[in-house]
Amino acid sequence: MLKYIGKRLLLFIPTIFIISVVIFFIIQLPPGDYATSYAAAMAAEGEIMTPEQIQELRMQFGLDKPWYIQYFNWMADIITKGDFGYSFEYGRAVWDVIAQYLPLTLGISFVILVFQYAVSLPIGIYCANHQYSVGDYIWSFIGFIGTATPNFLLAILVMYFIYVKTGTMYLGLFSTEMLQNGMRPEYIPEFLGRCLIPILVIGTSGTCSIIRTVRAQMLDEQARQYTLTARAKGCSEATITYKYCLRAAMNPVVSGLSGALRTIFSGSTVSAIVMNMAILGPVLLTALKSQDMYLAGTIVLVQAILVVVGTLLSDIALAWLDPRIRFSERS
């Protein structure tokens, strides 16, 4: 196992290097740059910039150089100084912008992730143990509805229903009073109520796939010979379900850890915009629209690093969960 982890860590650096080059190149593919986007925004407000002013702005931000020179300077600053560049759109250092939205993004996304697994795993086990029952059909139907309904549409419906019932529009995680007076104890119930909306809206989108995966894997494991042998020897159904079948059924769920880490970092972009949530998803969209390449590149690069790290962690967890993987690796 240590040898396997060492090999993966050695591949980590060239993988991230290749990903960073691809990210920076793709971000530069659309025509124009931040200077032209800024000029277009100023023109929409009635202020026309001359070509000389646009070129001067481009030279000021270093956008007049080829993309590979810009990439080399960006990576050199990251490696030597830990400087991820300057955000043209926000007028601050890139990591300062990310740090402003990161705590709330991590908190909300982590709670949503826990909600998905806490809801999906018991339902998946129940559906597998009660195959083709009424409960199986009901939970499967609810799961499919949660996946088929777009998050932003579900967010609008939930917010409208709450507004009709309570008369309060829960738009965003913080009300005006919270922002002005700070998080006082009397605001905690309202804040928790506001947090329930994104948890339910975004959390339901991933429940169906986990439910169906766990259900299918559990049914497959229940038909295996070792399950029949354990049942013949008198093992209880709870022991067979949770000690043997569930452990093997968790393999595809654990393998999705890499995507889960990426989602935790960025959040759901469209749903966050609809619900007016100050997380990194809308920040990434704004950076891409304005061609703020260093901010967009840093967010996507961190996401890629989390995918690589998550893949390594999921492989280690799989080897720990399933002894068959360890034995096949040794052989």
Residues 59, 166, single domain; the answer is: no
Copy the structure tokens of residue 183. Answer: 């998080």
For residues 267 and 15, the model is more confident at: 15
State the pLDDT at residue 139: 87
Question: Is residue 322 one of the residues assigned to a domain?
Answer: no
The answer to whether residues 169 and 240 belong to one domain is yes
Residues 123, 233: one domain? yes
- Name which of 84, 110, 101, 83 is nearest 296 in CA terms: 84
Q: What is the pLDDT of residue 24?
A: 87
DSSP-assigned beta bridge partners for residue 92: 87
Give, for 93, the enclosing helix (H) or strand (E).
Answer: strand 92-93
Say how far apart CA 153 and CA 155 lie, in whole Å.
5
The stretches of the chain forming alpha helices (DSSP H) are 2-28, 34-44, 51-60, 67-81, 94-129, 134-148, 151-166, 176-181, 188-203, 207-222, 225-232, 237-239, 246-249, 251-255, 257-266, 269-274, 280-289, 293-321, 323-330
Q: What is the pLDDT of residue 324?
A: 65
Q: pLDDT for 40-61, tens place per residue? A: 888 888 888 888 888 888 888 8
Structural domain for 35, as ranges: 31-83
In this predicted structure, the answer to whether residue 274 has a pLDDT above a threshold of 60 is yes
Beta carbons of 252 and 94 less than 8 angstroms apart:
no
Whether 331 shows a pLDDT value over 50: the answer reads no
pTM of the model: 0.77
Judge if 124 and 241 occupy the same domain.
Answer: yes
pLDDT digits (tens, 9 = 90+) for 184-210: 777 777 777 777 888 888 777 778 778
Residues 289, 268: Cα–Cα separation, whole Å: 17
